[in-house]
């Protein structure tokens, strides 16, 4: 399988989205846990870094959608095709981006309002961090897969093997 320029760009945007979002979450967790041990100049420097990462995560999330649309069409004009954008936004990527934006917005608001809103910043960081699960591979399974897996596990042969495996790992 060959990777074209649009796909490579979309992968880079995804990597930047992951790095910036998880950097925001890590910075917020660090400040909430160890912020009292730092001087004010150090805390404000970390808050500025979190702010820059917030912007980078939001922009990279939006650019990823545009680049995915271009990848689907194979042309620059695909970036501005509302049909492709609608398709991407109605799938798991759109849901994950929306959840991520809500988490980043909460975190940004809490960072702007100060340390009194530390819990709000933590909630925003958690929401932004778990947003990536909205795109996950599990979403690609058909809706009736879970009952099929349950039936498989309940069959005598699989159930017997399942017990022996679960007894070894638990």
Rounded to whole angstroms, how far apart are CA atoms 110 and 118?
A: 7
pLDDT tens profile 46-75? 999 999 999 999 999 999 999 988 888 888
Average pLDDT over residues 144-160: 48
Do 106 and 127 form a contact (C-beta atoms < 8 A)?
A: yes
Flag whether pLDDT at 93 surpasses 70.
yes
pLDDT tens profile 98-136? 999 999 999 999 888 877 888 999 999 999 999 988 776
Q: What is the pLDDT of residue 118?
A: 86
Rounded to whole angstroms, how far apart are CA atoms 117 and 12?
A: 33
Rounded to whole angstroms, how far apart are CA atoms 66 and 79?
A: 5
How big is the CA angle at 55 (ends 54 and 60), to the nearest 5 degrees?
A: 100
Flag whether pLDDT at 153 surpasses 80.
no
Q: Count CB-CB contacts under 10 A for residue 111.
A: 24
Average pLDDT over residues 7-27: 93
Q: What is the pLDDT of residue 165?
A: 41
């Amino acid at each position: 399988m060959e990777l074209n320029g649009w796909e490579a760009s979309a992968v880079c945007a995804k990597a930047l989205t992951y790095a910036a979002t998880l950097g925001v979450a890590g910075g917020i967790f660090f400040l909430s846990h160890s912020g009292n041990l730092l001087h004010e100049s150090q805390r404000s420097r970390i808050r500025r870094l979190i702010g820059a990462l917030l912007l980078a995560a939001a922009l990279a999330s939006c650019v990823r959608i545009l680049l995915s649309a271009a990848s689907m069409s194979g042309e620059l004009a695909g970036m501005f095709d509302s049909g492709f954008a609608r398709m991407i936004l109605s799938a798991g990527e759109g849901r994950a981006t929306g959840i991520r934006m809500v988490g980043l917005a909460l975190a940004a608001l809490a960072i702007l309002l100060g340390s009194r809103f530390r819990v709000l910043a933590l909630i925003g960081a958690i929401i932004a961090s778990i947003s990536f699960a909205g795109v996950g591979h599990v979403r690609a399974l058909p809706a009736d897969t879970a009952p099929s897996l349950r039936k498989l596990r309940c069959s005598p042969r699989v159930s017997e093997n399942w017990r022996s495996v679960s007894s070894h790992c638990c």
